[in-house]
C-alpha cells in the first residue's frame, strides 16, 4: 500500500478539524448547494475564495486538499468536451456529423467542470478533516429525529459506521491477497489485457469470501455481547460550540450572497 486513498482522514487540530461534524455535514450540503447555484464569474470568484479560505483554515496543505480533484483531470477534459460539442445545436461555430461546438456549450462545459471540481474539493476537505467515527456519529444524530416516522435510525447508523470501519480492514486484506496471488504467479501488473483479466478472479473471490467471513464473525461477536439493535448504547453528545455557529453563519451568508446578489 504505497498510495493512500483520496479523502482519507488526516490527523490535525485546525479550526476545520475542531468543527463539530454535526455542523460540518449540513454545512457541506449548504456549500454544495451554493456551488450548484453558481454560474457567473463573480459567483465563482466568491466561492473559490471561500474554498481557498477553508483549505487554509484546514491546514491540510494545498496538495492534500486538491489532489483528488487534480487526479481526475481526464474526466474533466472528457465532460468539458462532451458539453462543448453536444450541448447546443444553435449558434454553432461549425457542425460536423454530430459534433456542434458552440459558445453555449463551452459555457455549459466550464460550468459543469467547475461545479464538479468544487464539490470534490469541499467533500475532500470534509473527509480529510473529520474522523470516520465523527461522521457516523453526526449521521446518527442528524437522522435521529426521523425516528418518529418509524425509521430505524440506530440500525442505519450502526450499518454505516460498521461499513466505514471495515474499509481500511478490507483494503489491507485486499492488498495482502494481491501480494499472495502475485507471489504464486498472478500477473496484476501485466500490460497484456488477457493476463490482467485472468488475474481478477484470484483477487475478487478471496476478497468476497473474506468480507462475508468477517461480517459473519462480527455479527456473532456483536450478538454475543448483547447487541439487539436497541439504542441503549447511544452515548451522550456534546453541545455545539460558538465557533460551530460562526461557521454556520459564514456559510449561510455565502449561500445568500450566491443566490440573491450574484
Position among 77, 151, 169, 201 found at the interface with another protein (CB under 8 A): 201
* Closer residue to another protein in complex, CB, 184/236: 184
* Closer residue to another protein in complex, CB, 5/103: 5
* Closer residue to another protein in complex, CB, 107/196: 196
Residue 252 CB, shortest distance to another protein, in Å, is 31
* Closer residue to another protein in complex, CB, 3/74: 3
According to the binding rule CB under 8 A, does residue 220 interact with another protein?
A: no
* Closer residue to another protein in complex, CB, 147/179: 179
Bridge partners, residue 96, by sequence:
99
Question: How many residues sit in the footprint of another protein (CB under 8 A)?
Answer: 26
Position among 77, 151, 205, 220 found at the interface with another protein (CB under 8 A): 205
Bridge partners, residue 76, by sequence:
none
Residue 134 CB, shortest distance to another protein, in Å, is 18
Show the site string, 158-197: x = touches another protein by CB under 8 A, - = not. ---------------x--xx-xxxxxxxx--x--------
Of 47-86, binders to another protein (CB under 8 A) are 64
Position among 206, 248, 257, 262 found at the interface with another protein (CB under 8 A): 206
Position among 104, 210, 248, 257 found at the interface with another protein (CB under 8 A): 210
Q: Which three cell numbers stand for residue 91?
A: 449558434
Q: Which three cell numbers stand for residue 234?
A: 447511544
Binding site for another protein (CB under 8 A): 1-4, 8, 10-11, 64, 173, 176-177, 179-186, 189, 201-202, 205-206, 209-210
Amino acid at each position: 500500500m504505497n498510495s493512500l486513498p483520496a479523502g482519507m482522514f488526516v490527523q490535525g487540530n485546525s479550526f476545520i478539524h475542531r468543527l463539530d461534524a454535526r455542523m460540518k455535514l449540513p454545512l457541506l450540503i449548504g456549500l454544495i448547494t451554493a456551488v450548484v447555484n453558481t454560474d457567473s464569474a463573480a459567483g465563482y470568484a466568491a466561492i473559490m475564495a471561500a474554498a481557498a479560505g477553508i483549505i487554509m483554515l484546514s491546514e491540510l496543505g494545498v496538495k492534500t486538499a486538491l489532489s483528488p480533484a487534480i487526479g481526475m483531470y481526464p474526466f474533466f477534459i472528457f465532460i468539458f468536451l462532451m458539453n462543448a460539442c453536444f450541448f447546443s445545436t444553435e449558434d454553432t461555430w461549425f457542425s460536423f456529423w454530430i459534433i456542434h461546438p458552440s459558445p453555449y456549450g463551452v459555457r455549459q462545459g466550464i460550468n459543469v467542470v467547475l461545479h464538479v471540481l468544487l464539490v470534490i474539493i469541499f467533500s475532500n476537505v470534509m473527509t480529510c478533516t473529520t474522523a470516520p467515527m465523527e461522521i457516523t456519529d453526526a449521521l446518527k444524530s442528524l437522522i435521529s429525529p426521523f425516528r418518529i416516522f418509524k425509521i430505524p435510525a440506530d440500525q442505519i447508523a450502526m450499518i454505516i459506521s460498521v461499513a466505514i470501519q471495515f474499509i481500511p480492514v478490507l483494503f489491507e486484506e485486499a492488498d495482502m491477497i494481491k501480494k499472495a496471488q502475485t507471489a504464486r504467479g498472478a500477473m496484476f501488473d501485466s500490460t497484456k489485457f488477457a493476463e490482467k483479466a485472468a488475474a481478477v478472479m484470484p483477487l475478487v473471490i478471496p476478497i468476497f469470501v473474506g468480507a462475508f467471513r468477517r461480517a459473519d464473525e462480527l455479527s456473532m461477536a456483536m450478538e454475543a455481547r448483547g447487541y439487539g439493535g436497541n439504542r441503549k448504547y447511544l452515548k451522550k453528545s456534546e453541545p455545539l460550540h460558538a465557533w460551530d455557529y460562526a461557521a454556520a453563519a459564514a456559510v449561510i451568508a455565502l449561500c445568500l450572497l450566491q443566490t440573491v446578489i450574484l
